[in-house]
């Protein structure tokens, strides 16, 4: 199987359930951003992580493929092979956040992104996730998409933030508190 098809050489691409759209279509931007997020999570997984963190991140990478396929398939299309995102992954993220929060010191200040390389990369992934969420919210103003996607991306960014804190905590790395521009 060849990796290139040449069908996108004029600036359009196929959606999963048929039809073609321009490559700058907001849906393509949305699932492209989800793919970028998945790649950053893959990068995080090359770092030394607590085993539970790697397990969570592998699950999330699989879920992000579901999100991408869901976004690439019009909501009114009913292909039998498509798995749409449901509430279960968001519930799993909430449970993981609660588990990590139980171990972490109470957050009383904003913290600067950083710490270990793994935590810093998780913060980058968090910002890409937020961008994906914004793109999906923009799409919702004109086109129907699965509303579970926005909920999932919102919770995923919270999860990635908490995971970055937890990874630093497990590594014994102190958080750097934001102090309105003053170094403390």
Residue 179 lies in a domain: no
The mean predicted confidence, pLDDT, of the chain is 89
Residue 7 has pLDDT above 70, yes or no: no
Residue 54 or 19, more confident: 54
**89 close to 149: Cβ distance less than 8 angstroms:** no
- Mean pLDDT, residues 80-107: 94
**Residue 74 confidence (pLDDT):** 81
Does residue 166 sit within a domain?
yes
Q: Is residue 5 part of a domain?
A: no
Non-local CB neighbours of 145 within 8 Å, separated by 6+ positions: 27, 30, 70, 71, 75, 136, 139
Q: Which two structure tokens, joined as six digits, stand for 43? A: 């990068």
| In-domain check, residue 30 | yes
Over residues 70-91, mean pLDDT:
87
CATH code of the domain covering residue 95: 1.20.1200.10
Within-domain flag for 66: yes
Maximum CA extent, the chain: 57
Question: What percentage of the chain exceeds 70 in pLDDT?
Answer: 86
**Domain limits for position 51:** 12-170
Q: Which pair of tokens denotes residue 139? A: 């799409």
User: How many domains are contained in the chain?
Assistant: 1
Residue 130 lies in a domain: yes
| Share of residues in the chain with pLDDT > 90 (%) | 66
- 4 assigned to some structural domain: no
Confidence tier at 10 by pLDDT (50, 70, 90): low
> Does the model's pTM come out above 0.85?
yes
The mean per-residue pLDDT over the stretch 112-141 comes to 96
Which pair of structure tokens corresponds to residue 175?
């958080």
In a domain, 115, yes or no: yes
């Amino acid at each position: 199987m060849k990796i290139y098809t040449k069908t996108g050489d004029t600036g359009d691409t196929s959606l999963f359930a048929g039809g073609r759209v321009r490559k700058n279509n907001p849906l393509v931007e949305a699932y492209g951003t989800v793919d970028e997020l998945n790649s950053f999570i893959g990068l995080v997984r090359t770092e030394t992580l607590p085993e539970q963190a790697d397990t969570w991140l592998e699950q999330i990478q699989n879920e992000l493929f579901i999100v991408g396929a869901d976004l690439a398939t019009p909501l009114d299309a009913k292909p039998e092979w498509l798995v749409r995102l449901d509430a279960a992954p968001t519930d799993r993220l909430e449970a993981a956040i609660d588990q990590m929060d139980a171990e972490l010191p109470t957050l009383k200040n904003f913290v600067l992104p950083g710490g270990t390389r793994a935590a810093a990369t998780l913060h980058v992934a968090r910002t890409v996730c937020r961008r994906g969420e914004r793109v999906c919210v923009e799409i919702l103003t004109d086109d129907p998409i699965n509303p579970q996607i926005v909920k999932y991306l919102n919770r995923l960014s919270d999860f990635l933030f908490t995971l970055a804190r937890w990874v630093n905590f497990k590594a014994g790395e102190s958080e750097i508190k934001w102090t309105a521009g003053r170094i403390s």
